[in-house]
Structure 1
Amino acid sequence: MIDPRRPTSVPAALRSVGRYVASGLLQVEHSLRSAGAAFVDRWPALTTLLVSTWYGYTHLYCWGTGVKNSLVHPAGIDPFEIQRVPLDPPIPWLDLTPSGPVTSQFSRSKFKYAGRVMDGDWDQHTVPFQETAVYRGFKAHFERSVDWAETEFFADVMDRIDDGNPMWGCRSRAAFERRCERIDELYASIEAHGYRIQAELAGDEVDDPLAAQRVPSARHTIHDEMTVLIGRDGEYIFVDGRDRLAIVLLLDLPSVPVWVLARHERWQRLRDAVASGRVEQCDLPPRLRDHPDLST
């Protein structure tokens, strides 16, 4: 078995190129954000074009991450990868509460983490999703018919909005009430038709009540998927998509497709060892032999 503490060696030249590319992409991002906001305010009809441009940039950013990884890791890392993962309770959720120990580490747009390999103890800071206010609120609403406004979840969100922190783009009670109505629509859709990824919905020309404005490319729609990180021991840690996750758990779905973002460095080292033949899958612990991330 490989030593999980041994760091991966990255050539200095590659690190230098990576920093140069990252700096250039950051300048592009700042320009798109500032110019985009100004254009939308002045010419709302350009919204679709600007959304497409923004997603094109995020696609390029993720593609660059994938290219860098292909030069370093024997096991491929597709930054757009969708995996189907089992929903075995308890479901670990990354602790991203305002005072959480890793909240600042994961404060950037989620596409910035797609395909990344990250060291550290971030994967040790999780909470059972079924114990969160979000899940309890959904359970009360959908199983006991409690009005949204009477749930702990609604109160928590309104406290943050009232403190000047928009939630899911909602800056007022009225806006959040409209979002809750769309959550009801999403629940009804998943209950009737099952859970489908954004590319499938786009292909069938079916609207997702909670999805952002859609652009033609299926890979662009990936931004509205549930997302996970993979910890050092191969544990899937959910990090985004609370609404959908709560719904599929309440509907007792056995598994769900998710967008894989970052992996822990120790887990990636195991993937590399398996990919290079230094470790045989049959020699792994039984729980890992059929792990979805070791067969991709």
Structure 2
Amino acid sequence: MNNLKKAISAGVPVKMVRDVVNRLRFGADAPQSDELIWVRARDVANWYKPDPDNGAPRYRRRHSGIVAAGDWDLSRKPFGSQIKLDSIRDHFERGVPWQQTNLFDWMLKQISEKGRIDGCHTREDLIERYERLDRIYDEAQRTGTLRPHGSVNETRGEQGGILVHIARDGTPLRDGGGMHRFAIAYVLDLQKVPAQLGVIHSEAVQAGVMAELRKGPVRR
């Protein structure tokens, strides 16, 4: 029953119908919901900027695999400074201890105000979380890539991973979720990073962009 509730919450029934419709529209190679794709971290220069009044809907993970026309993909904001990325760079590039980063303080504040964030309820939980990030970083540095979120967490496809929308020209646009893993990939300048397909522009599908997005890394 719990698994059924989670599936409904994640929009799985709707996604399954979407996958069938995509195949009917675009053939066997059509994009699929929660699909694993691969992008270069530093090719992501912009966030997708929701602007519903001007044709840029607010997309969530449940919209994964939607093929959308229009100018939604032109609504962007520069990646710029971001507390998680900046703090992860401080830690791994400059040797700043986690507990001295702005991110650690911000996370503690969120726990104090909300009781929980990213599965952490206490300071000890945070310390354990960032110790795990150190291990993820070490493995990514050694192997040249990150393991797909789905292979580690046994989710439906790459559900819960780094969420990326694909613009008409194949440009990846970040949108929520997976920021810690993405920041590690960005710091290491990984050439192939696993991501969850978000919404993809119809022109990108027609141009055959999915073939390139499906190419994983060459293992060392």
Q: Deviations over 1:2-51 (max 9, x none)?
A: xxxxxxxxxxxxxxxxxxxxxxxxxxxxxx5xxx3xxxxxxxxxxxxx4x
Residue 90 to residue 68, structure 1, CA distance change in 2 (3 Å): closer
- Confirm whether residue 169 of structure 1 aligns to residue 119 of structure 2: yes
Equivalence for 1:66: 19
- Confirm whether residue 242 of structure 1 aligns to residue 179 of structure 2: yes
Contact 1:82 1:257 in 2 (8 A): yes
Residue 174 to residue 61, structure 1, CA distance change in 2 (3 Å): farther
Q: Deviations over 1:244-289 (max 9, x none)?
A: 11112222322323221112xxx304534x47xxxxxxxxxxxx8x
Task: State the SS of the aligned residue for 2:121.
Answer: coil
Contact 2:170 2:204 in 1 (8 A): no
Cα distance in 1 for residues equivalent to 2:48 and 2:110: 19
Q: Deviations over 1:140-176 (max 9, x none)?
A: 1112221212111222223333332732122333322
Task: Report how far residue 86 of structure 1 moved.
Answer: 2.7
- Confirm whether residue 197 of structure 1 aligns to residue 120 of structure 2: no
Cα distance in 2 for residues equivalent to 1:293 and 1:145: 34
Contact 1:78 1:115 in 2 (8 A): yes
Task: Report how far residue 137 of structure 1 moved.
Answer: 0.3
Residues 48-197 of structure 1 aligned to structure 2 (within 5 Å): 50=3, 54=6, 58=10, 59-73=12-26, 76-89=30-43, 91-94=45-48, 105-106=58-59, 108=60, 110=61, 112-118=62-68, 121=72, 124-128=75-79, 131-164=81-114, 166-194=116-144, 195-197=146-148
Cα distance in 1 for residues equivalent to 2:128 and 2:47: 26
Higher share in helix: 1
Task: State the SS of the aligned residue for 1:229.
Answer: strand
Give the number of equivalent residue pairs: 207
Cα distance in 2 for residues equivalent to 1:90 and 1:66: 26
Identity %: 20
Cα distance in 2 for residues equivalent to 1:293 and 1:193: 20
Tell me the amino acid that sits aligned with residue 17 of structure 2.
Answer: G
Task: State the SS of the aligned residue for 1:223.
Answer: coil
Contact 1:157 1:167 in 2 (8 A): yes
Cα distance in 2 for residues equivalent to 1:82 and 1:94: 19
Structure 1: 5+ residue stretches without partners: 1-31, 37-49, 203-207, 276-287
Structure 2: 5+ residue stretches without partners: 216-220
Of 202, 205, 210, the match for 1:268: 202
Higher-Rg structure is 1
Task: Report how far residue 56 of structure 1 moved.
Answer: 9.0
Tell me the amino acid that sits aligned with residue 160 of structure 1.
Answer: Q
Task: State the SS of the aligned residue for 2:174.
Answer: strand
Cα distance in 2 for residues equivalent to 1:94 and 1:149: 31
Cα distance in 2 for residues equivalent to 1:90 and 1:271: 19
Give the TM-score of the pair, scaled to structure 1: 0.57
Cα distance in 2 for residues equivalent to 1:142 and 1:92: 23
Task: State the SS of the aligned residue for 2:118.
Answer: coil
